[in-house]
DNA sequence: CTTTATTGCGCAATGT
DNA sequence: TACATTGCGCAATAAA
């Protein structure tokens, strides 16, 4: 059933073995290396749990499900390295995607502004034309037939910016 | 007698000490736990580097800046835990932000479509009105005052049939 | 100087 | 089986 747990903020690992971090880059891709990435080598050897040190009951010495992972294995290291590579790649893509999305937002925002400006312009034109129409209609109504006297009938005299949408 | 170290792509670590992974969540925040996150405990003990074995030049035995990090230290664990928490938080935010950005893209796209539709509508209205104008102008020209002969006077001065951005 | 936030990295489980 | 993703912890460093 359950595994054993820690009486206190213990440090348990995935399976049952402490994982030892290590490093070694095949492809160095660190834009901002810390300061001294030195290639120390230490090797990760599993450290058998020490049941008599941590504060609590550690696991029974006889119950390690998968000691089968040989960290020493040639193949293991190879797989790890490949995976590390894949991980880097994946993360790079992820970041790139995020940036692209942000970029897209900016582009769309810009386009939106352009469209809004265009709408504003069209609206204005439309309102002007409509006014002209109204004006003309009034002229027709008022003096259907301009008496042969004054011919200075100016059809254009806007004065009513009735704007609507 | 040598414990660690492989002849090949070695796994060096940050400073000079192998880091032992461990785990233990104070705040359980795993939406999708693997399958059996068990809390085993192994205590990470530093594995002193072995300067006389690696297939290269390890660091001079007398130049270890900070071997002083006691993984056993209570304070150490505390700091680690806090940092782990901070990391989770930070990553969560990051993801959230990414999702928000994506959402923003969708919204902007939608709005863009709306705006384009509106532009299309306005353009159509405008063109209709202009046509009416032209027609009326023709009527005037045909019936109103035929001075003497045919005149191709066009009272309508278009302002913007073609649009540009 | 101390604490938190970010970031790059490796490991392992899991997904495809 | 290989590669891709994802959650996680560690450590270096940036930012408070």
CA-nearest residue to B132 within chain A is A133
pLDDT of B132 reads 85
Contact of B47 with B19, CB cutoff 8 Å: no
Give the pair of three-digit tokens for residue A21: 């971090």
- If residue B19 lies in a helix (H) or strand (E), which one and from where to where? strand B19-21
Query: Does A93 fall in a domain?
Result: no
Query: Does A156 fall in a domain?
Result: no
Query: Does A3 fall in a domain?
Result: yes
Query: Does A85 fall in a domain?
Result: no
% of chain A at pLDDT higher than 90: 35
Using CB atoms within 10 Å of the CB of residue B165, give its burial: 0 to 12 exposed, 13 to 18 middle, 19+ buried.
exposed
A53 CA, D13 C1': Å apart: 33
Our count of domains for chain A comes to: 1
Q: Rounded mean pLDDT of A106-120?
A: 98
Most confident of A18-32, A33-47, A114-128, B45-59: A114-128
Q: Inspect the interface and report whether the beta carbons of A6 and B41 lie closer than 8 Å.
A: yes
* Predicted confidence (pLDDT) per residue in A18-44, tens digit: 344 443 333 333 333 343 333 333 333
**Other beta carbons less than 10 A from residue A142's beta carbon:** 9
Q: Which residue segment(s) compose the domain that A2 sits in?
A: 1-24+40-60
A142 CA, D7 C1': Å apart: 81
Nearest residue to C8 via alpha carbon and C1': A30
- Mean pLDDT of the residues in chain A: 63
Give the pair of three-digit tokens for residue B159: 């302002």
A134 or A89, greater pLDDT: A89
Query: Does A6 fall in a domain?
Result: yes
Q: Is the pLDDT score of B45 beyond 90? A: no
Query: Does A47 fall in a domain?
Result: yes
> Measured between alpha carbons, how far is residue A4 from residues A55, A62, B29, B136 in Å?
13, 13, 20, 93
Contact of A19 with A13, CB cutoff 8 Å: yes
* Predicted confidence (pLDDT) per residue in A6-16, tens digit: 333 333 344 33
Q: Rounded mean pLDDT of A55-67?
A: 44
Query: Does A17 fall in a domain?
Result: yes
Query: Does A124 fall in a domain?
Result: no
* Predicted confidence (pLDDT) per residue in B65-105, tens digit: 556 788 999 999 999 999 999 999 999 999 999 999 999 99
């Amino acid at each position: 059933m359950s595994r054993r747990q820690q009486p206190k903020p213990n440090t348990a690992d995935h399976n049952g073995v402490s994982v030892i971090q290590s490093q070694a880059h095949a492809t160095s891709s660190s834009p901002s290396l810390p300061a001294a990435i030195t290639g120390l080598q230490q090797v990760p050897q599993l450290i058998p749990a020490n049941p008599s040190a941590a504060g609590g009951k550690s696991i029974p010495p006889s119950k390690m499900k998968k000691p089968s992972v040989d960290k020493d294995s040639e193949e293991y290291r190879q797989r790890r390295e490949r995976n590390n590579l894949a991980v880097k790649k994946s993360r790079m893509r992820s970041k790139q995607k995020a940036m692209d999305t942000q970029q897209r937002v900016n582009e769309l925002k810009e386009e939106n502004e352009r469209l809004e400006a265009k709408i504003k312009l069209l609206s204005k034109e439309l309102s002007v034309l409509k006014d002209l129409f109204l004006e003309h209609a009034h002229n027709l109504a008022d003096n259907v037939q301009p008496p042969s006297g004054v011919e200075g009938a100016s059809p254009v005299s806007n004065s009513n910016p009735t704007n609507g949408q």
